[in-house]
């Protein structure tokens, strides 16, 4: 979120004290106004800043309104100060939008335009030589890119840093590392967009790959920055893995859509929205897209004679100092390992560290839930009369994250017992959330069958716990999609009760 509500606006403390001393007739000194214009980080957008400069009336800070009801604005001292210091104030506002990664944020549209000779890519001026003056035409693009990075940071925080928070929980340093790497990736993707019509020779392919390596080498002055770049690439790759259920298109090709493409795909829960920048026909994918980031990054590691540690596969490596909630016992329980697509279609070895780093499930992370787990409790999975149609009923919900979200949302209609107070808006540890799905999905399946006209036979006395339902004759004669006749409290509780701070079900 770019703008905080007025109740949370702040201003420099010494300026507040100065106003209290001089009272409501005080006319701001130019240096104080300049500080207010440049250091109020809670009002960062250019559009809001322009409004303040032109009218200097409607936006003003709540704490100041407590001091005086009206100031003699005349022609607005804000406007006079801005006229005197337009470049420094504009850059300060840009810093408020982007943070310390401002140099990297300006880079994508300062040094390269489509159509430039690719052979010159590795010789563009370094980041530290960027002109500090920000042109008016650059402001909108700067804010647009900042909005993309801001949202991606929120998603990164949710999936890697803190499952309890839907907004970024990254510290100042963590956020800077993340944003700096993300802006560098933006430029890289702009330099090397998706190109399905390449007919170059192997030698020309190698030339372009060498250019890619040269660009990434420029960004990776030390091992730390190289690791941060690799981690953010891994994070973007994971977004596409979570959406790419059938793997009918190369994830490398999807990465060419830039971070903005990853955000669009995440918000739509589908990569189909990228057809305007990536040809989704797998036959259009060329050799050039293969190893889009992996090949140049591996070449850099090799050139520096460094063997990446196994931790390099973590999106958190080099970015985060800590992971919130890592002390919970639920971390070692059955943890959320990404979506059905990751574990079933790609293989569970793809994201082992993500499985460790995702401790909690909230409504924003339902699309990541692993439905490939055995969801039929007790002996129901041994009854093919139930398990086969159950698989058929669930399969359509595995086609997209949006469909998976709809399925999980429908389970809350069946809440009972210890789950009666569960709120879908809350966050729960992945272990307990898996038990919740297991305890309710068979009821959802029963309702689905009844709505399709199925007439069940008489209920089995032992219900879903019956140990004879794998017998064809008994399985057909009795309905096992029901509770046992015995009281529900006789059901076996989950092994090793959960004591995590989120749900406290133990």
| pLDDT for the residue 152 | 93
Report whether 121 contacts 112 (CB < 8 A): yes
Which is nearest to 220 in space by CA: 315, 290, 299, 307? Answer: 299
For the chain, percent of residues with pLDDT exceeding 90: 9
Helix, strand, coil share of the chain (percent; to 5) = 60, 0, 40
**Three-state secondary-structure class, residue 429:** strand
For tokens 């240096």, what's the residue?
Answer: 31
103, pLDDT greater than 50: yes
Lowest mean pLDDT among 47-56, 180-189, 369-378: 47-56
303, pLDDT greater than 60: yes
Handedness of CA 393, 395, 401, 403 (dihedral sign): negative
User: What residues contact 185, with CB distance under 8 A and at least 6 apart?
Assistant: 229, 232, 233, 236, 258, 259
**Three-state secondary-structure class, residue 361:** strand
pLDDT tens digits for 406-462? 899 999 999 988 898 888 887 787 778 888 998 899 999 999 999 999 999 999 988
Provide the 10 A C-beta neighbour count for residue 483: 15
Give the pLDDT band of residue 364 (cuts 50, 70, 90).
low
302, pLDDT greater than 80: yes
pLDDT tens digits for 57-99? 233 333 333 333 334 444 455 555 555 555 555 555 555 555 5
Pseudo-torsion of CA 269, 272, 273, 277, nearest 10°? 140
Lowest mean pLDDT among 96-110, 364-378, 491-505: 491-505
495, pLDDT greater than 70: no
43, pLDDT greater than 70: no
pLDDT tens digits for 155-200? 898 788 887 677 888 988 898 889 888 988 888 888 888 876 556 6
Hey, which residues does 428 pair with through a beta bridge?
361
């Amino acid at each position: 979120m770019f703008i905080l509500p007025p109740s949370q606006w702040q201003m420099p403390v010494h300026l507040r004290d100065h106003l209290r001393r001089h009272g409501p007739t005080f006319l701001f000194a130019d240096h104080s106004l300049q500080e207010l214009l440049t250091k109020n980080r809670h009002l960062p957008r250019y559009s809001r800043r322009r409004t303040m400069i032109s009218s200097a009336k409607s936006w003003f800070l709540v704490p100041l309104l407590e001091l005086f009801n009206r100031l003699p604005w005349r022609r607005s001292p804000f406007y006079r100060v801005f006229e005197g210091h337009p470049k420094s104030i504009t850059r300060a506002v840009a810093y408020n939008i982007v943070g310390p990664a401002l140099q990297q944020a300006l880079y994508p549209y300062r040094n390269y335009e489509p159509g430039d000779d690719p052979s010159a890519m590795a010789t563009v001026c370094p980041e530290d030589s960027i002109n500090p003056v920000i042109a008016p035409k650059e402001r909108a693009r700067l804010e647009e890119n900042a909005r993309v990075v801001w949202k991606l940071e929120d998603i990164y925080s949710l999936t890697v840093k803190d499952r309890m928070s839907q907004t970024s929980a990254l510290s100042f340093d963590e956020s800077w590392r993340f944003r700096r790497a993300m802006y560098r990736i933006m430029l890289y993707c702009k330099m090397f967009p998706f190109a399905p019509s390449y007919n170059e020779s192997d030698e020309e392919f190698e030339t372009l790959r060498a250019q890619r390596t040269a660009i990434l080498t420029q960004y990776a002055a030390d091992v730390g920055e190289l690791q941060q770049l690799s981690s953010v690439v891994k994070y973007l790759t994971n977004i596409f893995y979570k959406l790419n259920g059938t793997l009918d298109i190369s994830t490398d090709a999807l990465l060419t859509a830039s971070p903005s493409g990853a955000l669009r795909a995440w918000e739509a829960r589908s990569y189909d929205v990228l057809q305007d920048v990536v040809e989704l026909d797998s036959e259009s994918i060329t050799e050039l897209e293969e190893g889009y980031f992996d090949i140049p990054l591996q070449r850099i590691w090799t050139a520096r004679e460094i063997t990446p540690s196994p931790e390099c596969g973590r999106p958190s490596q080099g970015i985060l100092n800590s992971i919130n909630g890592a002390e919970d016992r639920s971390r070692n329980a059955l943890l959320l390992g990404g979506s059905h697509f990751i574990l079933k279609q790609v293989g569970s070895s793809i994201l082992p560290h993500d499985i460790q780093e995702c401790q909690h499930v909230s409504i924003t992370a339902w699309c990541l839930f692993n439905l490939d787990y055995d969801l039929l409790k007790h002996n129901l999975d041994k009854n093919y009369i139930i398990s086969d149609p159950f698989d058929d009923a669930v399969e359509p919900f595995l086609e997209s994250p949006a469909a998976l979200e709809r399925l999980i949302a429908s389970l809350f209609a069946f809440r009972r017992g210890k789950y009666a107070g569960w709120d879908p808006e809350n966050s729960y540890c992945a272990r307990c959330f898996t038990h919740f799905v297991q305890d309710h999905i068979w009821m959802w399946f029963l309702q689905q069958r009844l709505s399709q006209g199925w007439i069940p036979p008489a209920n089995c006395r032992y219900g879903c716990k019956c140990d004879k339902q794998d017998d064809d004759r008994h399985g057909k004669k009795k309905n096992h999609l029901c509770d046992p006749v015995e009281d529900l409290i006789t059901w076996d509780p989950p092994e090793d009760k959960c004591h995590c701070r989120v749900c406290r079900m133990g």
